[in-house]
Every structure is written in structure tokens, then in C-alpha cells.
């Protein structure tokens, strides 16, 4: 079961994060602050879109393996996930240490050992001192890997649980986790601490659960039968995304002190995840449009590379003042990152994925 349009969403999510970091690190204060481009000023939400997509795609994979009666479904699932995630993660981490932040390698050996071990075990997102030390975007890769382990262990439950209970449980756990993170950190006066603890796997289970629920809707067959008879599911998903996006952004932009607002920290991301869930559902129901935009479809193929390569490239370009303007920095970043992503996709990622699938 393959949904090619979701590949376009991967490309969009990766580009959201890339442009956001160019705006922030450029810096680019003149970037449009109104209209459609305003979304890129909060392009970090691309990570939330990735989490919803992961819930969907990983749910499809794990539940299908379990339902197909593969007695080794956990081993098969884990092998495929490691083949997809680890090779490029290691390569970009080494590149970051050598080219961007060699000072990390000069740390006293106990601290260096903790940094390297936590990153190798995908646990570095659990503590502020480790969180962004080796290629900042890696924090979400660690969260993804922890989610994979959770799905691998709970696939039988995910296969049979009532979808409403799945959604309610994911949302409730996320709210409780984010509430604890906020109340434990907001008096410290360090929003970064709130961010770290409010983006752990339990805190993002609403996004993952929404993706998992969409996977179940497809796997259980009812959605396919319904859409074969009526266009209303597609229309409803498009309507929900349009209305949700408007409400989510109006709420966000009217609360500038996001990390200092408990209600925003606890509840807002659920609305964002639901909006992205409607988008993923719409893309999964829509006939294959990815074939009409092969460049974007290809960017979806290499989106993991775009996500992992973009920050090191931006940091190197800004450190050496290569670009004469933020717009030039964006063009340089896109060209180099897409080239690196294409090289590593064809010569590293895809060969390993095919060999270990």
C-alpha cells in the first residue's frame, strides 16, 4: 500500500524547515511577514508534519507486517527502520563534527563519551545539554526512533484498538506530558528547556496518533469502500484542512509569547496536528498527482537528506560569508543541499534500503 502524494508532503515539510532556518540564521528580517509566505517564518512546523506523516507511514508498515502473520515482524520492521534512518544520520553527524563543530571533539573524554553515546543510542533529545550538540535537527530523528520502538512493541494493540480510543489516548497523553513540561520549566526563564521537554515522544503522541488513525482507516478497508461510493471524504478532508489552517495560524500569530503561554504549549499543537492530519488524509485519498510534478516527487524521495544536510550547509555558508544576501544564501543552500541529498540518496541510502528491505 503506497501513497505517492504523501511524498510531496515530505518535500514540503523539509523545505519548510530549510527556509525557516535560512530566515533565522541568515538573518532575513525583510522576509515577507504577510501572505502565503508567512508560513515559512514558522517553518519549524514542518517537523510536526513529519510526525503526522511518520504516524501514518510507520503505522501502515508495522500493522501490515503484524497482520500478514510475519512471526518475525518486529525484527523485520526494526531492520527496515534502521536501514532507512541510521546510515545518513551517521554520515551527516560525522560531517557536522568535522566541518561545523570540531570543538565537540575537544571536550573532556567523559563529556565527549556522553555526547557520542547519547547520539548513537538516539537518546540525546532527552536532555538540554545534549539536545542540539551534534546537528540540531537530529533531536527529531531521535524522537522518531523512539516512536518506532514504541510502535514495534505495541503493533498488536495498534492493530485492534478502537480508532477513537487511539486518538483520545494519544491526545490526552500529549496534553498531560506538555502540561508537566510547561509547569516544570516555565519559572526557569529558559524557553529552550520548555521546548526540549514539551517535544518528547509522549508530548507528540497526538501528532503520531493522528497519523496512526489514518493508517488504520486505510488498512481496515472502510475508508476505501466509502470513497469508492462518494467524494465526500475527500471534500471533508480538504475543508477540514482549509478551516483548520486558518484557525491554527490566527491563534498562533496572536500569541507571540508562545513558550510562555501554558494554554498554547499544551493545546495548540493538537490543532496543528489535526490540520496536518486532514492534509495527509486528503493526499492519501487524492488520485496520484505526484507523477505530474516529478521534481517535487524527487525532492520527497531525498527529503530525509534535505532535512539532515541543510543546517550544516547553512552554518558553513554563513561562517564563510559565501552569500551576499539572505536570498542568495537560500539559493546557495538549496543548490548544495539538494546536490548532497541526491548523492547520498543514490549512493548510500537507496542501496542500503534495497539490500536490507
pLDDT digit string, tens, across residues 205-217? 999 999 999 999 9
Q: Assess whether 266 and 335 both reside in one domain.
A: no
Q: Assess whether 112 and 239 both reside in one domain.
A: yes
Domain boundary among 261, 286, 311: 286
pLDDT digit string, tens, across residues 248-295? 999 999 987 899 999 999 999 999 999 999 999 999 999 999 999 999
Average pLDDT, the chain: 95
Q: Assess whether 227 and 99 both reside in one domain.
A: yes
Q: Assess whether 174 and 319 both reside in one domain.
A: no
Q: Assess whether 263 and 307 both reside in one domain.
A: no
Domain boundary among 251, 269, 286: 286
Within 10 A of 89 (CB to CB), how many other CB atoms are there?
Answer: 21
Q: Assess whether 83 and 211 both reside in one domain.
A: yes
pLDDT tier, 48 (very low <50, low <70, confident <90, very high otherwise):
very high
Select from 298, 301, 302 the least CA-distant residue to 340.
Answer: 302
Residue 237: domain span:
44-286
Q: What does the pLDDT average to over 326-355?
A: 97
Q: Where does residue 159 rank: exposed (0-12), middle (13-18), buried (19+ CB within 10 A)? A: middle
Q: Angle CA(131)–CA(256)–CA(37) in degrees, nearest 5?
A: 85
Q: Assess whether 231 and 301 both reside in one domain.
A: no
pLDDT tier, 328 (very low <50, low <70, confident <90, very high otherwise):
very high
Cα(148)–Cα(99) distance, rounded to whole angstroms?
Answer: 30
pTM (two decimals): 0.96
Domain boundary among 235, 252, 286: 286
Amino acid at each position: 500500500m503506497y501513497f505517492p502524494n504523501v511524498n510531496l508532503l515530505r518535500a514540503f515539510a523539509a523545505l519548510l524547515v530549510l527556509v525557516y532556518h535560512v530566515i533565522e540564521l541568515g538573518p532575513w528580517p525583510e522576509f515577507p511577514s504577510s501572505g502565503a509566505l508567512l508560513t515559512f517564518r514558522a517553518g519549524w512546523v514542518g517537523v510536526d508534519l513529519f510526525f503526522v506523516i511518520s504516524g501514518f507511514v510507520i503505522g501502515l508498515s508495522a500493522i501490515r507486517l503484524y497482520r500478514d502473520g510475519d512471526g518475525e515482524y518486529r525484527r523485520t520492521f526494526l531492520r527496515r527502520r534502521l536501514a532507512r534512518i541510521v546510515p545518513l544520520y551517521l554520515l551527516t553527524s560525522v560531517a557536522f563534527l568535522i566541518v561545523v563543530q570540531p570543538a565537540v571533539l575537544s571536550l573532556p573524554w567523559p563529556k565527549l563519551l556522553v555526547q557520542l553515546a547519547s547520539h548513537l543510542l538516539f537518546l540525546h533529545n532527552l536532555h538540554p545539554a545534549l539536545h542540539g550538540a551534534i546537528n540540531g535537527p537530529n533531536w527529531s530523528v531521535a524522537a522518531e526512533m523512539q516512536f518506532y520502538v514504541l510502535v514495534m512493541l505495541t503493533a498488536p494493540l495498534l492493530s485492534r484498538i478502537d480508532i477513537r480510543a487511539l486518538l483520545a489516548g494519544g491526545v490526552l497523553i500529549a496534553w498531560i506530558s506538555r502540561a508537566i513540561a510547561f509547569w516544570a520549566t516555565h519559572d526557569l526563564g529558559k524557553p529552550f528547556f520548555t521546548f526540549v521537554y514539551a517535544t518528547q515522544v509522549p508530548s507528540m503522541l497526538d501528532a503520531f496518533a493522528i497519523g496512526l488513525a489514518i493508517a488504520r482507516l486505510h488498512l481496515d478497508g472502510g475508508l476505501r469502500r466509502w470513497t469508492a461510493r462518494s467524494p465526500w471524504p475527500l471534500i471533508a478532508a480538504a475543508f477540514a484542512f482549509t478551516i483548520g489552517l486558518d484557525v491554527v495560524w490566527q491563534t498562533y500569530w496572536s500569541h507571540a509569547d508562545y513558550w510562555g503561554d501554558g494554554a498554547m504549549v499544551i493545546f495548540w499543537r493538537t490543532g496543528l496536528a489535526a490540520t496536518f492530519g486532514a492534509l495527509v488524509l486528503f493526499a492519501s485519498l487524492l488520485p496520484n498527482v505526484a507523477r505530474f510534478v516529478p521534481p517535487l516527487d524527487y525532492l520527497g524521495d531525498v527529503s530525509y537528506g534535505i532535512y539532515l544536510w541543510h543546517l550544516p550547509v547553512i552554518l558553513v555558508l554563513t561562517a564563510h560569508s559565501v552569500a551576499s544576501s539572505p536570498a542568495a544564501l537560500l539559493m546557495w543552500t538549496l543548490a548544495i543541499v539538494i546536490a548532497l541529498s541526491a548523492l547520498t540518496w543514490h549512493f548510500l541510502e537507496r542501496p542500503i534500503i534495497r539490500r536490507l528491505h
